[in-house]
Amino acid sequence: MRLLAAFVAGFLATLIFHQGAIALLHAAGAIPVAPYPGAPTWPFGVPQVISLAFWGGVWGLVLWAVIRNTRGLKYWGLCLLTGAVGPTAVAMLVVFPLKGISVDATKVVAGLILNGIWGLGTGVLILSYFLARAWLRPNA
C-alpha cells in the first residue's frame, strides 16, 4: 500500500505542483512552455501530460525509497534534492538526447526548479497520506 501511495503522490504532484508551477511561470511570461500538454506520445498516443504524470509516479517510488526513514528538515531536504536532481539528470542526460532536444543552462536551471517543486509536492502528498491514515485509524 505504501508503494501505491508513493506512486499516486508522484503522479498527482506532477499534475498539481509541477504543471501548476509551469502554469504560473507561463502566465507570467517567464517560460514559453505551456502547462498540461495534450499532444499524443509515441508509441501509445496518450496525452503528454499523462505520460509525464506516469513518470512522476515512478519517480515517486524512487523518492519514497530515499525518504521513507527520515523526519523533519532531512525529510524536506531530501524531497527537494532528490526531486530536483534525479528527474532533471535523467531528462537532460538520457531523454533529451534521445529526442534530439538541446540542453543548455536555462533548461537545466528550469528543470532543477520545477522538479524540486515536484519533489516537495510529492513529499507533502506522501506525508498527507500517512497523517490521514493515522488520523482515520480506529483506536486499538
pLDDT score for 43? 87
3-state secondary structure the chain: CHHHHHHHHHHHHHHHHHHHHHHHHHHCCCCCCCCCCCCECCCCCCEHHHHHHHHHHHHHHHHHHHHCCCCHHHHHHHHHHHHHHHHHHHHHHHHHHHHCCCCCHHHHHHHHHHHHHHHHHHHHHHHHHHHHHHHHCCCC
pLDDT score for 140? 52
Structural domain including 111 reads 2-136
pLDDT score for 42? 87
pLDDT score for 37? 97
Q: How many domains does the chain have?
A: 1
pLDDT score for 36? 97
Q: Is 0.75 topped by the overall pTM? A: yes
Tens digits of per-residue pLDDT, 13-22? 999 999 999 9
pLDDT score for 137? 83
- Whether the bond between 43 and the residue before it is cis, its omega within 30 degrees of 0, is yes
Weakly modelled stretches of the chain, pLDDT under 70: 140
